[in-house]
Amino acid sequence: MTPDQAALRADIDSLTFKLGAKRGKWGLESLEFPVAYFAIAAPKRAQGPTRFLLRVDCRSYPALAPTSQLWDGRTDTALSVDQRPMGRTGVLVAFSPWNACLYHPIDRIARDHWPNQFEELTWKPGSTIVTLLETVHGLIHNPDYLVSTAPDAAAALRRPLVA
Amino acid sequence: MDSQVDSHELVLAIEGERSPRQIQVPRGATAKEVIEAVVLETKRTELTEIFLEDQEECLVEERRVVEIVLEEFRLIHVASKGKITVTVVYNGRQVHRDFAPSVTVETIIAWAISPAGLNLEGVPAEYQLKLGSEVLPPDVHLGQVAKGEKRITFSLVFRIKPQGAS
């Protein structure tokens, strides 16, 4: 096992991660290093799934920030834009199709889009996979999220699970 | 009887420690016995009270703890005697209130924006508490971030929402 894989495994085995899982906030769906899939619980909305699937690329973890996207387990591709969490004016900014990543300063790919801004939201020494999951859980549980047409089935991986 | 079957891995927060701990206790352990187990493990004899998450009153010594968390998961909090005086600062205004160490950040935000606090519009999920530059998760306990002190000051901010780059 490589050091980055071992570090991720240790953080997934940590009590802090398990506490979030016990609270029903997230769960590990599959780990095929460097990619991990997590289910993120969604709040109840008039239309929307009970959870979203998050695909996270964790190469060089934790020295490099992960990069992640909402995923469709049925097709094994990024969740289509029209099924992502929507607010009053369309897809929530963090889930916009700007690139194949989370459009948020914590994301490895998106970080440079806000130079010298939002330092408190970035991936830092001491950040763990729980930091990312807390961030995504918070984005989905914000009142800005109003609706999603994604079905629950989109959050289930079709291939055999590895953990 | 098998001791593994007769015991339970109890997840708990301890005042002054940011990360939760897990300790093994008998399934029938009372609040008093759980505190004794925590003191044995931490060597911190000042830990004398045990709370359910977001409860202001501690459990009575005879209360069986495991059966409560098995019914519905709630993080247990073990603390020293005394509440924590919280100051919340927002736009140059500040409000104060004493809370039990087991109270969550989300509950503090709910109070801070309520008419009893700063009387702000919106719901708790639209706000965040910051301790220095750190944005605190909503379900962390007050006692987990107060570093063992009985007084703490937070900044209340609107949830930070990065928009498109300028």
Query: Per residue of chain A (163 residues), what is the pLDDT tens digit?
Result: 999 999 999 999 999 999 999 999 999 999 999 999 999 999 999 999 999 999 999 999 999 999 999 999 999 999 999 999 999 999 999 999 989 999 999 999 999 999 889 998 999 999 999 999 999 999 999 999 999 999 999 999 886 666 6
pLDDT reading at B166 higher than 70: no
Burial class (CB in 10 A: 0-12, 13-18, 19+), B6: exposed
CB B25 within 8 A of CB B66: yes
Question: Could B163 and A93 be called an inter-chain contact, meaning their C-beta atoms sit closer than 8 Å?
Answer: yes
- Phi and psi for B139 in degrees, rounded to 5? -100, 10
Residue whose structure tokens are 């130079």 = A115
Between CA A103 and CA A81 the distance in angstroms is: 13
| For A118, nearest residue in chain B (alpha carbons) | B162
Residues of B with Cβ-Cβ distance to A117 under 8 angstroms: 162
Arithmetic mean of pLDDT, B133-161: 94
Output the 3-class SS for chain A.
CCHHHHHHHHHHCCHHHHHHHHCCCEEEEEEECCEEEEEEECCCCCCCCCEEEEEEECCCCCCCCCEEEEEECCCCEECCHHHCCEECCEECHHHCCCCCCCCCCCCCCCHHHCCCCCHHHCCCCCCCHHHHHHHHHHHHCCCCCCECCCCHHHHCCCCCCCC
The residues facing B122 across adjacent strands are none
Q: What is the pLDDT of residues B19-70, one digit of tens each?
A: 999 999 999 999 999 999 999 999 999 999 999 999 999 999 999 999 998 8
pLDDT of residue B5: 60
In this structure, what DSSP letter does residue B124 have?
Answer: G
Kindly identify which residue of chain A lies nearest to residue B106, measuring between CA atoms.
A138
Q: Which residue has the tokens 């990360």?
A: B19
Q: Counting one residue from A and one from B, how many pairs have CB atoms under 8 Å apart?
A: 51
Q: What is the pLDDT of residue B4?
A: 54
pLDDT of residue B1: 45
Q: Write out residues 53-92 of B within 8 Å (CB-CB) of A.
A: 73, 75
For the entire predicted model, the pTM comes to 0.92
- Of the candidates A15, A94, A134, the beta carbon closest to that of B20 is on A15
ipTM surpasses cut 0.95: no
**Residue B16 falls in which region: left (phi positive, over 0), alpha (psi -120 to 50) or beta:** left
Q: Regarding beta strands B76-80 and B7-14, do their DSSP bridges make them parallel or antiparallel, or are they unpaired?
A: parallel
